[in-house]
Structure 1
Amino acid sequence: MAFLVSDYFSWRYLPIALPLLFIGSLYVQRWLSRRSALAIGAMAPDVDIRGPLGRIGFFCRVRDDALILVWTGLGFFLEAIRTWRNNTALEFWQWIFDHTGCAARGSYTAEVMIMNGQRMILTADPENVKAVLTSQFKSWGKGQMLYDAFRPFLGDSILSTDGEQWHRARQIIRPFFEKTRVSDLDLYERNVQRLIPKLDKTAIVSIDDLIFRYTLDTISEFLLGNRVGSLEDSSNGFTEAFNEVQRVQSVLMRAGPLTWAIPRKSYLENIKRLDRYMEPFISQALTLPPGSPEAKSDTLLQALASWTRDRQMIRDELTSVLFAGSDTTASSMSWIFFELARHPNVVAKLRALILRKIGTRRPTYQEIKDLKYLQYVINETQRLYATMPFATRQALQDTTLPRGGGPDGLSPIGVRAGTPIIYSALLMHRRRDLYPPVSESFPDPLEWVPERWEHWTPKSWQLIPFSGGPRICIGQQFALMEMGYTLCRILQTFEHIVDYTGGGPPVLKCGIVVTPFHGVQIGFVRPAVAANTPQE
Structure 2
Amino acid sequence: MYLFTVLILVVIFVIYKVVLSKQKTKLYHAEAARRGCLPAPTLHSTNLLGTSRLKESIKATKEDRGPQYVVSAMNEVGSNIHTVRVPILDYELLVTRDPENVKAMLSAQSSDYDISATRANAFMPLLGEGIFTSVGQQWKHSRALVRPQFSKDEISNLDLIDRHIQTFLGVLNEQEKGWTSTIDLQPLFFYFSLDVATEFLYGQSVNSQAAIAGLANADNGIDGAAFARHLDEAKHLVDKRDFLVQDRLTSKRTPSLEGEGTRKFVFLDELVKETQNITELRNETLHTLLAGRDPAAALMGWTFYLLSRHPATFSKLRSIIVAEFGSSTSSSDITFEKLRSCTFIQHVLNEVIRIVAIIPMNERIALRDTTLPRGGGEDGTSSIFVRKGIQVLIPAYAMQHRPDIWGEDVEEFRPERWEGRKVGWEWIPFGGGPRKCLGQQFGFTEVSLLVVRFLQRFDGVENMEGPGRIKLHTAIENRSGTGVKVRLHSASL
Mapped contact 1:111–1:120 kept (Cα < 8 A): yes
The change in CA–CA distance for 1:287 and 1:446 in structure 2 (over 3 A counts) is same
3-state SS in 2 of match to 1:495: strand
3-state SS in 1 of match to 2:462: strand
Q: Distance in 2 between matches of 1:400 and 1:160?
A: 24
Normalising by structure 1, report the TM-score. Answer: 0.79
2:137 is aligned, of 151, 164, 173, to 164
Deviation (angstroms), 1:490? 0.8
One-letter code aligned to 1:140: Y
Q: Does 1:11 align with 2:3?
A: yes
1:287 is matched with: 250
Q: Does 1:303 align with 2:280?
A: no
1:86 is aligned, of 49, 55, 63, to 63
Q: Does 1:178 align with 2:142?
A: no
2:450 is aligned, of 474, 486, 493, to 486
Mapped contact 1:188–1:482 kept (Cα < 8 A): yes
Q: Distance in 2 between matches of 1:422 and 1:470?
A: 18
The change in CA–CA distance for 1:482 and 1:141 in structure 2 (over 3 A counts) is same
Q: Distance in 1 between matches of 2:302 and 2:325?
A: 25
Greater RCO (CA < 8 Å, at least 6 residues apart): 2
How many percent of aligned residue pairs carry the same amino acid? 31
1:233 is matched with: 211
1:313 is matched with: 280
Q: Distance in 2 between matches of 1:500 and 1:154?
A: 37
Q: Does 1:97 align with 2:61?
A: no
The change in CA–CA distance for 1:401 and 1:496 in structure 2 (over 3 A counts) is same
Deviation (angstroms), 1:381? 0.9
Deviation (angstroms), 1:491? 0.7
Q: Distance in 2 between matches of 1:70 and 1:181?
A: 59
Deviation (angstroms), 1:219? 0.8
1:452 is matched with: 417
1:253 is matched with: none
One-letter code aligned to 1:118: Y
3-state SS in 1 of match to 2:372: strand
Q: Distance in 2 between matches of 1:458 and 1:506?
A: 28
Structure 2: any 5+ residue segments left out of the alignment? Answer: 175-179, 215-221, 223-227, 257-262
Deviation (angstroms), 1:96? 2.5
Normalising by structure 2, report the TM-score. Answer: 0.86
Q: Does 1:425 align with 2:407?
A: no
3-state SS in 1 of match to 2:95: strand
CA displacement, residues 359-412 of structure 1 (integer Å, 9 cap, x when unaligned): 122322222122222111111111212111011211112210111122332221
Deviation (angstroms), 1:165? 1.5
1:330 is aligned, of 292, 297, 302, to 297
Q: Distance in 1 between matches of 2:156 and 2:265?
A: 13
CA RMSD in angstroms, aligned pairs only: 2.8
Q: Does 1:44 align with 2:37?
A: no
Mapped contact 2:400–2:406 kept (Cα < 8 A): no
Counterparts of residues 254-403 of structure 1 (less than 5 Å): 272-288=235-251, 298-359=265-326, 360=328, 361-362=331-332, 363-403=334-374
2:177 is matched with: none
The change in CA–CA distance for 1:448 and 1:19 in structure 2 (over 3 A counts) is farther
Q: Does 1:512 align with 2:476?
A: yes
Q: Distance in 2 between matches of 1:82 and 1:25?
A: 33
1:257 is matched with: none
Deviation (angstroms), 1:305? 2.8
3-state SS in 1 of match to 2:308: helix
Mapped contact 2:68–2:398 kept (Cα < 8 A): no
1:470 is aligned, of 424, 430, 434, to 434
Paired residues, number? 461
Deviation (angstroms), 1:300? 1.9
Mapped contact 2:370–2:388 kept (Cα < 8 A): yes
Structure 1: any 5+ residue segments left out of the alignment? Answer: 1-5, 50-59, 61-68, 237-243, 245-264, 439-443, 530-536
Q: Distance in 1 between matches of 2:155 and 2:231?
A: 34
Mapped contact 2:198–2:204 kept (Cα < 8 A): yes
3-state SS in 2 of match to 1:509: strand
Q: Distance in 2 between matches of 1:479 and 1:89?
A: 25
Q: Distance in 2 between matches of 1:220 and 1:27?
A: 54
Mapped contact 2:184–2:484 kept (Cα < 8 A): yes
